[in-house]
Structure 1
Amino acid sequence: MKSIEDLMRQFAQPGKVEIITIRPERRAAPEIRERVNAKASVGLEGDHYASKGGKRQVTIIALEHLRAAASMLGKEKIDPLLTRRNIVTTGINLLALKHKKFRIGDAVLEYTGECHPCSRMEENFGKGGYNAMRGHGGITCKIIASGEIGVGDSLVVLD
């Protein structure tokens, strides 16, 4: 029988990058990019968080969680750009990355926490938007090793 630690290291498949965005300044609309440079200890080139470093250098959200939030809002789907996250993925449970490092494209990132919703979710999705996004807001990360990240790249957990 496998231990909980063994089970926590097993992933059915790598994740996949579906959308990449940056916001050049606070409250600016997200700008879609096909590729972005991730700078270690800094952030994504061109993103307003890049100069701040810290634990919130990159935000990632799972498309599967957006589908759940849409259901709670009574909508068929919601626009991923309205979440204001940097990267949208499919195929992997982002919360299972807690205490882990992972590679996306050429960059190595480390999970730093959950990305909790803010009052903008109510503005962006309407009544109940904040509560629909609770537990579905994605994760925050810091960049451990610089590299390029592109749409279609895999998210692979490192040992």
Structure 2
Amino acid sequence: MAFPFFGDDKSKIAQLLATLPQQGRVEWIGIRPGRREPPQSLSAVEVLTDARLHGDHARVKAGGKRQVTLVQHEHLTAVAGFLGLSAPLDPGRLRRNLVVSGLNLLALKNRRIQLGEEVILEITGECHPCSRMEEELGPGGYNAMRGHGGLTARIIQGGHLRVGDAVRVLPAESAS
């Protein structure tokens, strides 16, 4: 007898992968006004369609896969723990644009999410740590971030985004 979620039943696995009823929340928004400048924490930002967050220095191309970066709020504590710190990290130290809680971001690869009432992002891939993590977090910062670097996204629809806005996963058919 086969277990209901294993074996050749690919439709059941597809169903499990598509089941994301949870709703998340935007916990932090940050932009970097210039290269190698510290991120600025914002309570709200204008998200520019197929571009970037307004005020961010990032040079992105239309249709690019890395227009916005996201990291999971729950990972701030994990990374701090790997570094021997007792308090969660300040999100700005990770140099990502958005911090989201309540959703497993890795489960969202190749999916679309809606943030607030207007913004739609398409999750395009993982955002691996870079050597800057050693500068920012100290020795071991790069390795502490491995597996916790977050995700990259393309901005499908821009609009206003605020800390506290809901984040919800859109049905798979909306990604066409």
Q: Which category of TM-score, normalised to the shorter sequence, fits these structures? A: over 0.9
Q: 2:136 aligns with which of 112, 121, 124?
A: 124
2:65 pairs with 1:55: yes
Q: 1:148 aligns with which of 146, 160, 170?
A: 160
C-alpha distance in 2 between matches for 1:82 and 1:72: 15
2:40 pairs with 1:13: no
Higher mean Cα deviation, 114-123 or 51-60? 51-60
- RMSD of aligned C-alpha atoms? 1.4
- Runs of 5+ consecutive residues of structure 1 not aligned to the other structure: none
> Secondary structure of the residue that 1:117 maps to in structure 2?
coil
Question: Which structure carries more strand by proportion?
Answer: 1
Query: What is the match of residue 89 of structure 2?
Result: 78
- Runs of 5+ consecutive residues of structure 2 not aligned to the other structure: 6-11, 172-176
Of structures 1 and 2, the larger Rg is shown by 2
Asked if the contact 2:29–2:44 (Cα under 8 Å) also holds between the matched residues in 1, the reply is: yes
What percent of counterpart residues are identical? Answer: 51
Amino acid at match of 2:52: G
C-alpha distance in 1 between matches for 2:60 and 2:91: 24
> Secondary structure of the residue that 1:149 maps to in structure 2?
strand
CA distance 1:51–1:131, shift in 2 (3 Å): closer
> Secondary structure of the residue that 1:142 maps to in structure 2?
strand
Kindly provide the CA deviation profile for residues 34-73 of structure 1, in whole angstroms up to 9, marking residues without a partner as x.
1111111111111111554421111000111121111111
C-alpha distance in 2 between matches for 1:12 and 1:62: 17
Give TM-score, length-normalised by structure 2. 0.86
Give TM-score, length-normalised by structure 1. 0.94
Kindly provide the CA deviation profile for residues 98-139 of structure 1, in whole angstroms up to 9, marking residues without a partner as x.
110110111100011101001111111111110010010000
Query: What is the match of residue 174 of structure 2?
Result: none
Query: What is the match of residue 8 of structure 2?
Result: none
Query: What is the match of residue 110 of structure 1?
Result: 122
Count of residue pairs brought into register by the alignment:
159
Q: Runs ≥4 in structure 1, deviation > 4 angstroms?
A: none
Query: What is the match of residue 45 of structure 2?
Result: 36
Q: CA shift at 1:80, angstroms?
A: 1.2
Asked if the contact 1:61–1:87 (Cα under 8 Å) also holds between the matched residues in 2, the reply is: yes
Q: CA shift at 1:10, angstroms?
A: 1.7
Query: What is the match of residue 88 of structure 1?
Result: 99
C-alpha distance in 1 between matches for 2:60 and 2:13: 38
